Structure 1
Amino acid sequence: MDFADTKAHVKHVLLRARYAAIGAAVGAAIGAVFSRNAASTGGAIGALAGATVADTRDTASTFLEDAKEKEFVPLSNGDDEQN
């Protein structure tokens, strides 16, 4: 694994941790309205949701970058079509 791969991996891990922390805070805040146990459960569910969002976002970003790099060839040429 070279430096660029390591840097990308660390960036991905930190992004996932950030989203998980934000999700946990939001979930705990919403759960705290109801009870202490709900705050704990809300925090856990929020962390899971945040980590999932981070993974989904990373996957979507990678897919879009790959799509931008590809050269799309038209299926038909407008000059060759007959009316």
Structure 2
Amino acid sequence: MRNRIKRAVSRAKYAATGGAVGGALGGLFSPKAASTGAGIGAFVGAMVGEKWAEAEPVVERAKESAKARAGDRLGSAES
């Protein structure tokens, strides 16, 4: 249940951001373009949020692994 909520929040956050950016860019041209830009931006943002929610655990593990390896190299150089 926790993963489903995390995924939904991530999707909503990115959709809102994408909609705002798309609406702002479209608003530079016309009100109709603002509406279309907001819709497209929200759609793209939702897709990005969905993918990020799936990829985040993998990215975090990779970061931790890289930090551990860098720490091992630095530790041996200090000795």
TM-score (norm 2): 0.68
Larger Cα Rg: Structure 1 or Structure 2? 1
Matching residue within 13, 24, 42 for 1:47: 42
Gaps of 5+ in 2: 65-79
Aligned to 2:14: 19
Deviating beyond 3 angstroms after TM superposition, the runs of 4 or more aligned structure 1 residues are 62-68
SS in 2 for 1:11: helix
RMSD: 2.0
* Richer in helix (by share): 2
Normalised TM-score (structure 1): 0.65
Structure 1 gap segments, 5+ residues each: 1-5, 69-83
Deviation at 1:49, TM superposition (A): 0.7
Distance in 2, Cα, partners of 1:13 & 1:54: 8
